[in-house]
A and B are shown apart, each in its own frame.
Chain A
Amino acid sequence: MLGYYLDLALRSLKRNKVLTALMVIAIAVGIGASMTTLTVMHLLSGDPLPGKSGTLFYPQVDPDPGPKQKHPYDVMDYRSAFDLWSAHRADRQTMIASSQLRLTSPQVNLPPLMAKALSTTSDFFPMFDVPFRYGNGWTAQDDVSRARVAVISSDLNDKLFNGANSVGRTLRLRDTDMRIIGVLAPWRPSPQFYEVAGGRYSNGDTASFYGRPEDVFMPFESSLEVNSGGMNVFTCWSLPDPAHLKTAPCVWVAVWVQLNDAAGVVRYRHFVADYAAQQKAMGRFAHADDTRMPSLMEWLDYNQVVPSDVRLQTWLAFAFLLICLFNTVGLLLAKFLRRAGEIGVRRALGASRTAVFAQCLVEAGLIGLLGGAGGLLLTLFGLWLVRRQPVEYADLVHLDTAMFLVTFALAIAASLLAGVLPALRASRMPPGLQLKTL
């Protein structure tokens, strides 16, 4: 029966090519627009560490001695961060700070370049499932002994060593030689979640959260010696002395902890609250009642990582799809009602209402399929346009299998939805009246 309906649908579509083309174009354009924005949205709002993000948490304390603020700072001062990290109360914990420094490689003949560097601790790599191409991360012992070792990104390895195994070679970072002990495989978390902070100050302009990870990773304490005075500071509550950042009234260190079970999460929350209370008792903190510990996804939400322009575009695209649907409903209605005579004959020859209804829906579905194919092409074109935009996430944008299937599902669902009303009208037509006018 379906084969017969498909045959009928094809004949009917061929009979009025202009109307068919209009409907297919309307669906294709609507699907193209909404799938382009939906794909971008999907890529930007996804979980950067699926399966693991639920065990990662971001403790926050408020070291500002001034009047109490609505929210604690997005990152910590060195002392608080170091205390929490060195207590080792979580299954894994790491400190993070970023900087830029001048990089040369004595064995490579390239001009010096400014590299983005991440100062962190040994747990960073296993905690965030960072993939290695060659070598490994450093050990907890290296953190303590301030070893002069570094891990570099795949991009930097390609640039300096043409992708060869560079473990054991030397980088000169500012004025210090550091030994490369690991090279990452290509790694592009979306967003660059471990450094997300300050989203609420950016007025929705959060595209920078989707930048590339740093090129150089080095042990936290080593980096403070290598790049003294060069660390990026989030903010200071009074004028700082940049040479002594460890004691400065500034927040610049992020702490992440991994807690594998619910009991551990509760224990750690208490631990952070107790720590703040203890610091308040010592007189170092003025406020201890607002310690927080959002999970990774809660933290991303709090920072509203999806740029507001992208959200606005998604709304627009769906409004657009809605208009395209209205259009298709109108055109299908016109098409089906025009065939009143033919439907009357079918009904008179014994076809049930359901049969007519099914036939009309098959035709609508076929239009959806064609529109979906056109929509797929337009989506690919739309994503190509997005990739050419000068935004940080441009290189992330691609159509994955899931979104490819969603494109067709959405197109067919939309066209069936658009087809229901016209098909109902067509199947309700009284056969006698139509036959009479033939």
Chain B
Amino acid sequence: MDILPILSTLRRHKLTSWLLILEIALTCAIVCNAVFLIGQRLQRMDMPSGVAEHELLQIQVADVTAPSNPYARLAEDLAVLRQVPGVISVASSNQVPFGTSSSNGNLRLDPAQPERTLNAGTYFGENLAHTLGTRLVSGRDLQSDDFIDADTAMKALGTGDSKNLPHVTLITQTLAERLWPGQNPLGRTIYLTPVVGLRVVGVLDSLARANAYDTAKAQYTMVVPLRMGANKDQNYLIRTRPEDRASVMVAALAALKKADPQRVVTTRRSFDEVRRKFFQDDRAMAGMLVGVIAALLIVTALGIVGLASFWVAQRRRTIGVRRALGATRRNILNYFQTENFLLATIGIVLGMALAYGINLFLMLHYELPRLPAVYFPVGAIVLWLVGQAAVLGPALRAAAVPPVVATRSV
């Protein structure tokens, strides 16, 4: 296909050509970035929680009528739940991964250090790792004699009596690697306050924090052997088989109600719902971006159809002359297809530069990473295809122009 005649024609329609090129460039830039944003959101929604997601139920009850001993109350509740048919394991926890409401602590590697090393999610509760289904990669799990009642620990903190403070902890692999890169974390100590030093006894494969907004810090979590009493902030976590979840939830709620009819259930959901709720904004945004991309491509395609139709109508006589001089229908078809390909290519090249610029802007304002190079060829192919699809109709109409047109109205 000869490109030079096309270029010389386009030079006579500079303004319209440039408009089309700019439209394609803008579309290309926005589509590249939008696809990238969708990828980011989908990746975020896939964030690992580290727990047996399809087997877990979360229940929160509030305002138990002033239990005289909240620790006995909690133990009793856990015992009641353990009796429910279909329950595999039960734990109480101050938070759940992706649960939004979080408990966090500032960690120091040296008690005298003025600034914290980092902020991590602190899980409190007995039997937690086992119920959540978090795998222990090294060391041991927390044992019941590691646990201290929260009130006792509070008093000990006041008096400085270190005997009644927790001494050990479980941390995630990610946290261990961040604190002591390449070293064995077992036996090392983390300080929550200058007097609360916790020796790492076990390393968990993975456990996400409740407020996992920042993917890089989502796995900064530890489990501290503090036994909490029954109160509105405690979660009962139940592990069961996926198919038993609905029936176990009903039975568990009935059992808790029976233990104390005065209580109000504030949260009751499966872990699938926890995840869905936490990432619902990401899902909505990804959906919206898909809509934007589709609408953009359609609008751009319509623009191409409009301009190409105009050009075909304008050059009707020229096409007739070419046909009369021996050009085949295929030649005419190819001409318009090549013309569109050329315009799209210039647009795509400009669009890439623009996409990069928009990405820089987003990196500045939305803490996004750099646009990976793989999005550029993908964006290019999509726009070439859209361009070719849009120009096909007008080009076929051009090819259908009979040579006899050349003889008319001259």
> Interface residues, chain A, CB within 8 Å of chain B?
18-19, 22-23, 25-26, 29-30, 33, 67, 100-102, 112-114, 174-175, 202-205, 207, 229-230, 238-239, 241, 307-309, 312-313, 316, 319-320, 322-324, 326-327, 329-331, 333-335, 337-338, 389-391, 421, 425
CA–CA, A326 to B63, complex, Å? 61
> In the complex, how many residues of chain B place their beta carbon closer than 8 angstroms to a beta carbon of chain A?
50
CA–CA, A30 to B174, complex, Å? 45
CA–CA, A114 to B60, complex, Å? 12
Do A390 and B23 touch (CB < 8 A)?
no
Do B20 and A330 touch (CB < 8 A)?
yes
Segment at the interface with A among B295-303, B371-379, B399-407: B295-303
CA–CA, A322 to B22, complex, Å? 10
CA–CA, A100 to B62, complex, Å? 9
CA–CA, A308 to B37, complex, Å? 13
A230-B292 contact, Cβ under 8 Å, with A22-B302, A29-B299, A389-B284 = no
B213 is an interface residue with CB less than 8 A from chain A: yes
Which residues does chain B contribute within 8 Å of A204, judged by CB atoms?
366
Which residues does chain B contribute within 8 Å of A323, judged by CB atoms?
23, 26-27, 30, 296, 299-300
Q: List 23 A-B contacts (CB under 8 A).
A: A30-B299, A33-B295, A67-B115, A102-B62, A113-B264, A203-B213, A205-B213, A205-B281, A229-B231, A230-B63, A238-B157, A239-B157, A309-B281, A316-B289, A324-B299, A326-B303, A327-B303, A330-B16, A330-B306, A334-B306, A334-B310, A334-B311, A389-B284
Which residues does chain B contribute within 8 Å of A18, judged by CB atoms?
309
Residue of A nearest to B292 (CB): A316
Which residues does chain A contribute within 8 Å of B303, judged by CB atoms?
22, 26, 326-327, 330-331
* Per-position 1/0 for B237-279, Cβ under 8 A of A: 0000000000000000000000000101010000000000000
B183 is an interface residue with CB less than 8 A from chain A: no
Do B62 and A238 touch (CB < 8 A)?
no
Do A327 and B299 touch (CB < 8 A)?
yes
A391-B299 contact, Cβ under 8 Å, with A100-B62, A330-B23, A334-B16 = no
Tell me the total A-B contact number using a CB cutoff of 8 A: 128
CA–CA, A329 to B306, complex, Å? 11
Do B292 and A320 touch (CB < 8 A)?
yes
* Per-position 1/0 for B138-159, Cβ under 8 A of A: 0000000000000001100100
CA–CA, A391 to B310, complex, Å? 46
Residue of B nearest to A309 (CB): B285
Within 8 A of A (CB), among B279-322: 280-281, 284-285, 288-289, 292, 295-296, 299-300, 302-303, 305-307, 309-311, 313-314
Of the candidates A26, A33, A202, A330, which one forms a contact with B292 in the assembled complex, judged by CB atoms under 8 Å apart?
A33
Of the candidates B15, B213, B309, which one forms a contact with A425 in the assembled complex, judged by CB atoms under 8 Å apart?
B15
Do B26 and A319 touch (CB < 8 A)?
yes
Do B30 and A320 touch (CB < 8 A)?
yes
A326-B232 contact, Cβ under 8 Å, with A29-B295, A114-B266, A202-B213 = no
Do A326 and B26 touch (CB < 8 A)?
yes
A22-B30 contact, Cβ under 8 Å, with A33-B292, A327-B300 = no
B34 is an interface residue with CB less than 8 A from chain A: yes
Within 8 A of A (CB), among B328-375: 366
Distance in Å: Cβ of A332 to nearest Cβ of chain B: 10
Do A239 and B302 touch (CB < 8 A)?
no
**What are the nearest 10 A-B pairs in CB distance?**
A334-B310, A327-B303, A203-B213, A326-B23, A102-B63, A330-B19, A331-B306, A67-B114, A323-B26, A22-B306
CA–CA, A141 to B62, complex, Å? 32
CA–CA, A331 to B300, complex, Å? 11
Which residues does chain B contribute within 8 Å of A322, judged by CB atoms?
26
Which residues does chain B contribute within 8 Å of A241, judged by CB atoms?
154
**What would 19 more interface pairs be, CB under 8 Å, given A26-B302, A320-B299?**
A22-B305, A33-B292, A100-B232, A101-B63, A112-B262, A114-B63, A175-B65, A229-B231, A239-B154, A309-B285, A319-B30, A320-B30, A320-B296, A323-B30, A333-B15, A334-B306, A334-B311, A338-B314, A389-B284
Residue of A nearest to B194 (CB): A238
Do B302 and A327 touch (CB < 8 A)?
yes
CA–CA, A102 to B213, complex, Å? 31
B127 is an interface residue with CB less than 8 A from chain A: no
Residue of B nearest to A115 (CB): B264
A312-B366 contact, Cβ under 8 Å, with A101-B63, A333-B16 = yes
Distance in Å: Cβ of B406 to nearest Cβ of chain A: 16
CA–CA, A319 to B355, complex, Å? 12
Which residues does chain A contribute within 8 Å of B313, judged by CB atoms?
338
Which residues does chain B contribute within 8 Å of A100, judged by CB atoms?
62, 232, 266
Distance in Å: Cβ of A382 to nearest Cβ of chain B: 10
Distance in Å: Cβ of A64 to nearest Cβ of chain B: 12
B193 is an interface residue with CB less than 8 A from chain A: yes
Do B193 and A239 touch (CB < 8 A)?
yes
B46 is an interface residue with CB less than 8 A from chain A: no
Which residues does chain B contribute within 8 Å of A102, judged by CB atoms?
62-63, 264
Do B292 and A308 touch (CB < 8 A)?
no
Do A326 and B19 touch (CB < 8 A)?
yes
Of the candidates A33, A207, A313, A330, which one forms a contact with B307 in the assembled complex, judged by CB atoms under 8 Å apart?
A330
Within 8 A of A (CB), among B172-225: 193, 213-214
CA–CA, A313 to B154, complex, Å? 47
CA–CA, A30 to B262, complex, Å? 55
* Per-position 1/0 for B79-121, Cβ under 8 A of A: 0000000000000000000000000000000000011000000
CA–CA, A175 to B30, complex, Å? 58
